[in-house]
Structure 1
Amino acid sequence: MVEFKLEGEFIPLIQLLKATGLVQSGGEAQTVVEDGLIKYNGQVDYRKRLKVRVGDVVDFMGQQIKVI
């Protein structure tokens, strides 16, 4: 599990995927979200502009990101 320390109120999902190195670009991040490859707190989520906050868990391709 990757822990990501949030600075501020939230981080957009696409930026989180890039910041943790799970995708190489914003375009790739948008594609994986549109394809339903992201689980947000256990549920598949297709929102590209999703605001991820402290305590949330994002799953992508067997990797988990916990926002702290």
Structure 2
Amino acid sequence: MQKVDFELTSDFIELNQLLKLVGLCDSGGAGKQIVASGDVRVDGKQELRKTAKIRAGQHVTVGDVRITVLGQQGADGP
């Protein structure tokens, strides 16, 4: 399984945009199609909401790619 770390620069990122920014697709629209296909899991559960808010600490899996969403470096955590 390929593992990818993604560092947030805000409170959240929309799922379709995350897929685009990590290079799994070329556009947000293509990201929406991937989500609609039912192949995306967030924290182990199928996610069909194309613009679901993904926050630090969550894991997104698409096929054999696992994306770990990290908080901002140096930001105060809980």
Same fold (TM over 0.5): yes
TM range (shorter): over 0.9
Greater C-alpha Rg: 2
How many residues are paired up? Answer: 68
Structure 1 gaps, min length 5: none
State the AA in 1 paired with 2:14.
P
The yes-or-no answer on 1:47 pairing with 2:78 is no
Report the alpha carbon displacement of residue 65 of structure 1 after superposing the two structures with TM.
0.4
> Which residues in structure 2 correspond to 1:1-68 (within 5 Å)?
1-68=3-70
What is the percent sequence identity of the aligned residues? 38
Large movers: runs of 4+ above 4 Å: none
TM-score using structure 1 length: 0.95
Distance in 1, Cα, partners of 2:18 & 2:28: 10
